[in-house]
A and B are shown apart, each in its own frame.
Chain A
Amino acid sequence: MRIQETCHDSFLLSGIGWTPYRNIYRVDGLHMTQGIVIEGLDVWFGEHAERVQAVKGVSLEVAAGASVGLVGESGSGKSTILRALTGLVSTWSGHLQVDGETLGKRRSRAFYDKVQMVFQDPYASLHPRHSVDQVLSETLALHKLGDVDRRIVGLLEDVGLGRQFRFRYPHQLSGGQRQRVAIARALAAEPSILLLDEPTSALDVSVQAEILNLLSDLREQRQLTYLMVSHNLAVVAHLCESIAVMQNGQLVETLSVQDLRAMQATEPYTRELLKSSMGYVRSTQRADDSQTSPAN
């Protein structure tokens, strides 16, 4: 929120008026950077009386090669930001930019060569009647990549599945193996940016460790940029260098992992999140209903 305000301030100072997000920086070329730039992003669902503002004026920058985590409660709009970036949600306004390319309402194929997404639930994100081979070769065909045979074997090896998994169907795979297939599918297009939407929350801790290790290895090998959504602060802290905290559609705070680990959050909401993630604290105090119970 603070970020957004400073943003507004600078526009007010420069006298640009009420359409601030087509902003002056771009003209200067200062933001012609690699990575992701989000400025004043609003996302809403429904119309008129039913309109729900899911994301409210969020500005966030992810430099190329960086790894940024988005944390917050369910309904705070963190996944919606990823969905707006990938074009899965069309009702947004603001300024989105990926690798110097400003995004419109539609995404080009070139965009998906750069940006890929891994979803939360590996049980839902793979087609039950498509074998691993079909999933990967379809993706490769869509991206007009040749040499399918070699690539599929390579991808499977990269994500730690042997070639023996190539002709299996999702029901013949465990949750962790499915998530590896989903990661292989995302990597098939050889993207530079991966959007990770709770990639390990459906998995057991031991499997989560394997997937997190895989993600950090892949990032090192391929110089990937990560934007990861998670409700688990420890997971985000493990994989990311900086963390953005969201509440009710707004970005309340960004902080580095060092600050997070040192519990040096300035916003009360972030402190509460930190405290809650350290485990249960027994108190004689009566639980208070009033602090946090969003209606959705």
Chain B
Amino acid sequence: MSLLEVEDLRVSFPTRSGVFDAVRGVSFSLGQERLGIVGESGSGKSLTGRAILRLIRPPGKVSARRMTLGDEDLLTKSDKQMRAVRGQRISMVMQDPKFSLNPVMTVGDQIMEAYAQSRRGNRAERRQKTLEMLEAVAIRDPERVFKAYPHELSGGMGQRIMIAMMLIPNPGILIADEPTSALDVTVQMQVLNIMDKLVAERGMGLIFISHDLNLVSSFCDRVLIMYAGRVVESCRADQLYQAQHPYTQGLLDSMPRLDAPRERLSVLERDPAWRHADSGDLS
């Protein structure tokens, strides 16, 4: 069963020199799985994530032939109805916790606020749920962190708090936009571990947006590779290293690898034809 269906998603921005199409006909469906979206900066991967939540500000335009969450149409929803989707049904973790957490509010209050959006209940109950959630994201001392302000916490803790906040309304889908690229590798692994576990336990669908091919191939079930606003290839994550498309191969070859030393790294030669390649039906 698919949780989310996206067909022919387009995002465009008017500029002085004409309309710029940042996302050009992306189609995919998401089930209870970890779907990775990889690509370089400017490939439209983050905009795809934002467009699903209709978070593209005017003058940017989002259009799609179809965008359904379960059996609901996301395209025809009013802004008010969208607010009931954001955070509650689909939530999103951004790259840097420093810019996503409110600096003048304690962590506990912020998470309780997220919880209060979806459920009624008195303060004691909300507090209880928040502490449980903090524990679920492997925060050792939830009571202390509950009362702390974001600047008192490390980046890794901040990111786990973001995840706690996003998961407390129990959404069906989590969109994680480079959730670990601001973190150190060892902390990164902990955060991924937590997301992995929660996704598995709650049967969520995860869209994992990243530029790190290594990470995506080891963490996700399925990968979409984006180039210039299109999906150029889709494959099983563990088969990413056998990818067919020259762009994907070029990206993989240009990465230095610990296990395979090379005198020179091969440099990606971009073929203009990739821009026009058909995204095809890659559901």
Contacts and interface: CB of A to CB of B under 8 A. Distances in A.
Interface of A: 73-74, 175, 204-206, 208-210, 212-213, 216, 231, 233-235, 237-238, 257, 260-261, 272-274, 276-283, 285-296
A273 B214 contact: no
Contact of B186 (A205, A206, A272): A272
B154 A234 contact: no
Interface in B127-152: 138-140
A207 B49 CA distance: 24
Nearest to B262: A238
Nearest to A272: B186
Contacts of A257: 261
A289 B185 CA distance: 14
Contacts of B190: 287-289, 292
Nearest to B212: A205
Contact of A206 (B219, B254, B257): B254
A125 to B, nearest CB: 18
Interface in B224-273: 250-251, 254-259, 261-262, 264-268
A238 B197 contact: no
B255 to A, nearest CB: 5
Nearest to B264: A213
Given A208-B255, A280-B196, A292-B187, 8 more contacts: A206-B268, A209-B255, A209-B267, A231-B184, A238-B261, A257-B261, A261-B259, A289-B190
A204 B154 contact: no
A276 B215 contact: no
Most buried by B among A74, A257, A285: A74
B194 interface: yes
A296 B213 CA distance: 28
B182 to A, nearest CB: 9
7 contacts: A213-B265, A234-B258, A235-B256, A286-B197, A287-B190, A288-B190, A289-B140
Interface centre among B193, B217, B262, by most chain A C-beta atoms within 10 angstroms, is B193
A96 to B, nearest CB: 27
A280 B215 contact: yes
A234 B218 contact: no
A209 B213 CA distance: 14
A223 to B, nearest CB: 18
B192 interface: yes
Contacts of A209: 254-256, 265-268
A205 B213 contact: yes
A88 B259 CA distance: 36
Given A237-B256, A286-B197, A287-B190, A206 B267 contact: yes
A288 B186 CA distance: 11
A261 B155 CA distance: 29
B220 to A, nearest CB: 9
B69 interface: no
Contacts of B266: 209
B205 interface: no
B55 to A, nearest CB: 24
A261 B261 contact: yes
A258 to B, nearest CB: 9
B153, B265, B268 — most chain A CB neighbours (10 Å): B265
A205 B197 contact: no
A74 B187 CA distance: 11
A205 B41 contact: no
Given A213-B264, A286-B138, A206 B40 contact: yes
B256 A279 contact: no
Contacts of A280: 189, 192, 196, 215, 218-219
Contacts of A295: 153-154
A280 B237 CA distance: 12
B156 interface: yes
Given A205-B211, A286-B197, A287-B138, A234 B265 contact: no
B53 interface: no
A296 to B, nearest CB: 7
Contact of A292 (B139, B186, B258, B265): B186
Interface in B164-192: 184-190, 192
A282 B199 CA distance: 13
B111 interface: no
A158 to B, nearest CB: 17
